[in-house]
Structure 1
Amino acid sequence: MYEIMQLDQEDLVLYYAGTEQCSPLHSWKSIRDHFLFHLVFSGKGVVRVNGQDFHLTAGQGFVFFPGIVTDYQADKEDPWYYGWVGFSGKKAESLLQEIGLDRQNTIYTAQPTKNFIRKVERLINDIARAPHHYLKLATWYYLWYLLDSSKLAEDNKSIKKTPGKEASFFTTYYEAVEYYIQKNYSNPNASIQEMARWIGLSRTHLSSVVRQKYGKSPRDLLIEYRMIKARELLTTTILPVGDIARSVGYEDPLVFSRQFKRFFKKSPKKLRQKQ
């Protein structure tokens, strides 16, 4: 089943691997263009999937699929220590199915013996340190064989589920970009670098994705949304221009007014007077 020589580099592409001891309540929420599998070595935390909270401990793991927002948080009293591996490829989903995971079943469970935990931790660190792709693949397949042979049957039935908030899942990067802008346009610290980090793309890749869809840069898209919101406030409220500037993410009203005039060819004051 795990014959490396039968696979080419398009079948399985390894992105990165690593381990981390999380701080209390450490959380992460992003969207990626590849698969990301975590296994908990110790401690505990919660993963939010399809509107449900899964409380995981040592020996359990979770996978996030491409294009879906990841949302998880370490416990306050006993934060988890986990390892992860990111990958993609033509056979990535079928390999996940080998260890019992698919888009409806994203939680993995094994018996958390010290030997199992120690082996998985070592293999993930070996993947991270391997000097070339073939050695990374060889180590990855040994890791996957270990996960397959150690998984517990009917694992999801033993996982505690609790109702969660509405899941923030997106089917495309475009939806994630629009969501970020809609939720962060009023934040003066919102930036394209932060948008890229939140979505899980490089800044260059994000710019390429946005230009392909909208014909403009992510920065221009953010400015456009801010200006439209500012115009809405100017025409529907009596808020001072300074307050409107701060409401759409500009700490300096003069910077806001210059940007507004550049966008609409008239100042905020003149636009309001014509209403």
Structure 2
Amino acid sequence: MPARDGLRQQRLYAVPRRQVTAALSAPVTRRLVVTDAGHSPAPAPFEASRPAASRQTVVAICAAGSGWADIGGRHHRIGAGAALVVPAGTPHAYGGSPSSPWTVWWCHLRGSDVPELVEALGPPVVPVRHLDRAVALADEIVGRLARDDEGPARLVGVAGTAWKLLTQLIADRGSAPSPAEGPLERAMDYLASRLDGTVRVPELAALVGVSPSHLTTLFRRATGGGVHAYQTTLRMERARLLLTTTEATVSEIARDVGYADPFHFSRQFRQLHAMSPTDYRRSANC
């Protein structure tokens, strides 16, 4: 459920506390539960002050701009490409820089395995070597938490994504950068991993370290089209696969590949394939 509307494009979701309590006693999720998550693009205000601490561990990934945090009497600066990790029970305050507001993805965590994961991360400010991958996972957490039609399984899936995010941050600390992966390849990998997400070219460009115009040029040289055209190609490839290998409804497939409106999905599918999704499924199964 949305925690509050905030500014345009800001997304904040909170799991009802009765569901959190049940998840902390259930198999799998008792080890890790995401209780809240969100995305705050600059210049939306994302700040908090908890002098009495909190039962949740806070993980926030700064993708652009900068922020600050006061934790245990020490002041820290969080720049783009860094994660803020505040263990449960630690008094803290944090916020975006007034001169360079941050774009940040965040989640609150509880569960029996969280203290061990946090210890391995070595808080409070953690460098994020593969920022595009971390943001893709954080955005997936927010996107899955926003769904209200998956029942208890939603929290299991969100926990799995959060586990992957934390373990990737841990692994990143001991890994060397991969010179073989350029900004185009990293951007393509991000798009492939977030077919159901909303991608804005300026944010994607910032994640891979180039300007929006340069990223667009890279895509046009490699694919003949722009970023969104490439994303549409990936979405339609996935849609065709689901139509021919599953019994999912057209509405379910539309949502899986990032279309909130199944009618818009069907129109775009027909425009590219000269037939509706239902007719494509029928012809493929003949």
Which structure has more relative contact order (CA 8 Å, sep 6+)? It is 1
- The alignment's TM-score, normalised by the length of structure 1, stands at 0.46
Greater Rg by CA: 1
